[in-house]
């Protein structure tokens, strides 16, 4: 320390001492605060940081609902934009209510290696407090964090079925998806069920969240059928370009931002240096995987179509993110880049494949969330030696079968009872006018 610095510091301390002497109560307060700070135990500090991680990454994941909404608003035609917004705010809210009513406890309460938890309301229980091993957290922060995940799964379905599904049948499906289908398969792994005992690994949910949403979307797309005029007789495909590339891009960036919460928060703890290192590593792996997905999709569309397809680049970002979600911690940056890039390639190759099969996925959610989700889950053993391809495949297939079958039954039941599809006239008029009576972009305004 320089002489000058030392004198300045001494002078400052002397000043404080004089101030403290002249104001005795302040001196006492300063002492008390100092004492309290020292009384905070290590487990309590860990408890606070763990809770903070859940809350902060949780609201990042909540914001992904906005990302999905903007992405879908941009990729549907302008006559269906307000409907898409309505579906998204509706599904997010339904997911949050159902997760309280049945979802959380069905997923986490007393699964014990089995297939599902208990049918009961969730309630705050902080009786455990700050456990000595530093793994404690506020129970509500954990509930909140898990709740925003189920909303993500529901959002995936919304985009695929856009422009032709009616509002209430869709929301009714969301009730079953978020209240029962998602929590049951989630219990198998994250709730401590049979898959987790077997050694399955799905860090933040490539399979549990993304493939689940993807399977539900795929079954919905098959039962619902394609949009009018999408597939022309004789094998022709009639593209229906989206209404706003800026909104779709904004939505993708919001999802990308939210994903730091999705993957980073899935470390579930921030109370130790090891946890802090892990969360930071997850952030950079998540980012580079998305970047790899974008660049791969841009390069491949340039090669295949002589022009970069912006919608494929956006899908490529999301596919990269989904791919790294099953294991965002173990890979090096190089591995994460490669895993994400393959996700981007999968999207560019499978979007036209679905079109060939006449499965109409408006926003590309099935390639992004289902196909890249399977890839990400199967890629885990490449970088995580504690896992095996056989067990990963067991998880992918068992959850896939369960979600696909239950979704198929549900979509069929909805179709034969209340009906899921709008009439031809309504579809041509646009869902905005037909279903909710309001246009996203009213252009002929007379007053």
Binding site for another protein (CB under 8 A): 237-241, 304-305, 307, 309, 311-312, 348, 351-352, 355, 364
Q: Which is nearer to another protein, 168 or 305 (CB)?
A: 305
Q: Report the distance separating Cα 186 and Cα 336, nearest Å.
A: 25
CB distance 266 to 208 below 8 Å: no
What is the smallest separation between the CB atom of 241 and another protein, expressed in angstroms? Answer: 5
What is the smallest separation between the CB atom of 305 and another protein, expressed in angstroms? Answer: 5
- 94 token code pair: 């339904």
CB distance 262 to 325 below 8 Å: yes
Q: Which is nearer to another protein, 77 or 433 (CB)?
A: 77
DSSP secondary structure, 317-381, as one string: HHHHHHHHHT-SSSS-HHHHHHHHHHHHHHHHHHHHHHHHTT---TT-HIIIIIIHHHHHHHTHH
CB distance 363 to 163 below 8 Å: no
What is the smallest separation between the CB atom of 158 and another protein, expressed in angstroms? Answer: 18
Q: Which is nearer to another protein, 211 or 315 (CB)?
A: 315
Q: Which is nearer to another protein, 162 or 351 (CB)?
A: 351
Q: Which is nearer to another protein, 56 or 245 (CB)?
A: 245
What is the smallest separation between the CB atom of 316 and another protein, expressed in angstroms? Answer: 12
Residue 103, judged by CB atoms within 10 A of its CB (0-12, 13-18, 19+), counts as buried
What is the smallest separation between the CB atom of 307 and another protein, expressed in angstroms? Answer: 6
Radius of gyration of the chain, Cα coordinates, nearest whole angstrom = 25
CB distance 270 to 65 below 8 Å: no
Residue 127's SS3 state is coil
What is the smallest separation between the CB atom of 351 and another protein, expressed in angstroms? Answer: 5
What is the smallest separation between the CB atom of 41 and another protein, expressed in angstroms? Answer: 56
What is the smallest separation between the CB atom of 256 and another protein, expressed in angstroms? Answer: 20
Q: Which is nearer to another protein, 97 or 240 (CB)?
A: 240
Q: Which is nearer to another protein, 295 or 348 (CB)?
A: 348
Q: Report the distance separating Cα 116 and Cα 132, nearest Å.
A: 29
What is the smallest separation between the CB atom of 275 and another protein, expressed in angstroms? Answer: 41
Q: Report the distance separating Cα 61 and Cα 254, nearest Å.
A: 10
- 376 token code pair: 């990400």
Q: Which is nearer to another protein, 80 or 212 (CB)?
A: 80
CB distance 189 to 395 below 8 Å: yes
Residue 231's SS3 state is strand
- 441 token code pair: 């972009």
**For the stretch 306-329, what's the b/e string if a residue is b when 16 or more beta carbons lie within 10 angstroms of its beta carbon?**
eeebbbbbbbbbbbbbbbbbbbbb
What is the smallest separation between the CB atom of 345 and another protein, expressed in angstroms? Answer: 13
Q: Which is nearer to another protein, 235 or 442 (CB)?
A: 235
By residue count, the chain amounts to 447
Greatest C-alpha distance within the chain: 93
Q: Which is nearer to another protein, 224 or 351 (CB)?
A: 351
| Residue pointed to by tokens 């580079």 | 288
| Residue pointed to by tokens 């004492």 | 35
């Amino acid at each position: 320390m320089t002489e000058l610095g030392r004198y300045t510091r001494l002078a400052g301390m002397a000043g404080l001492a004089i101030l403290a002497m002249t104001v005795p109560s302040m001196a006492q307060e300063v002492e008390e605060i100092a004492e309290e700070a020292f009384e905070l135990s290590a487990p309590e500090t860990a408890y606070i940081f763990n809770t903070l991680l859940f809350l902060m990454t949780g609201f990042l994941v909540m914001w992904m609902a906005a990302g999905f909404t903007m992405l879908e608003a941009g990729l549907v035609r302008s006559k269906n934009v307000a409907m898409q917004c309505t579906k998204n705010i509706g599904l997010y809210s339904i997911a949050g209510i159902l997760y309280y009513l049945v979802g959380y406890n069905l997923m986490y309460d007393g699964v014990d290696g089995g297939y599902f938890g208990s049918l009961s309301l969730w309630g705050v229980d902080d009786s455990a407090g700050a456990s000595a091993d530093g793994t404690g957290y506020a129970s509500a922060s954990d509930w909140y964090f898990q709740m925003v995940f189920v909303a993500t799964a529901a959002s995936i379905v919304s985009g695929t079925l856009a422009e032709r599904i009616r509002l209430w049948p869709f929301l009714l499906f969301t009730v079953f998806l978020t209240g029962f289908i998602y929590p049951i398969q989630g219990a198998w792994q994250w709730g401590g069920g049979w898959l987790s005992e077997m050694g399955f690994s799905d860090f933040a949910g490539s399979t549990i969240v993304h493939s689940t949403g993807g399977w539900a979307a795929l079954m919905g797309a098959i039962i619902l059928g394609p949009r009018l005029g999408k597939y022309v007789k004789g094998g022709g495909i009639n593209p229906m370009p989206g209404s706003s590339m800026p909104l779709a891009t904004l939505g993708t960036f919001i999802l990308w931002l939210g994903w730091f919460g999705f993957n980073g928060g899935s470390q579930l703890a921030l109370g130790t240096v090891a946890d802090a290192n892990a969360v930071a590593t997850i952030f950079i792996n998540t980012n580079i995987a998305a970047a790899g997905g974008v660049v791969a999709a841009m390069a491949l569309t340039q090669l295949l179509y002589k022009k970069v397809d912006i919608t494929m680049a956006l899908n490529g970002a999301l596919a990269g993110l989904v791919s790294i979600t099953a294991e965002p911690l173990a890979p090096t940056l190089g591995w994460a880049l490669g895993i994400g890039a393959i996700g981007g390639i999968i999207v560019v190759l499978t979007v036209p494949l679905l079109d060939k099969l006449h499965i109409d996925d408006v926003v590309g959610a099935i390639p992004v969330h289902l196909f890249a989700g399977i890839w990400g889950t199967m890629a885990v053993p490449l970088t995580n030696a504690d896992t095996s391809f056989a067990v990963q495949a067991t998880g992918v297939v068992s959850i896939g079968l369960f979600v696909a079958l239950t979704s198929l039954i549900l979509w069929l039941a909805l179709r034969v009872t209340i009906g899921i599809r709008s009439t031809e006239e309504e579809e041509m008029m646009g869902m905005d006018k037909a279903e909710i009576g309001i246009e996203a972009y009213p252009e002929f305004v007379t007053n």
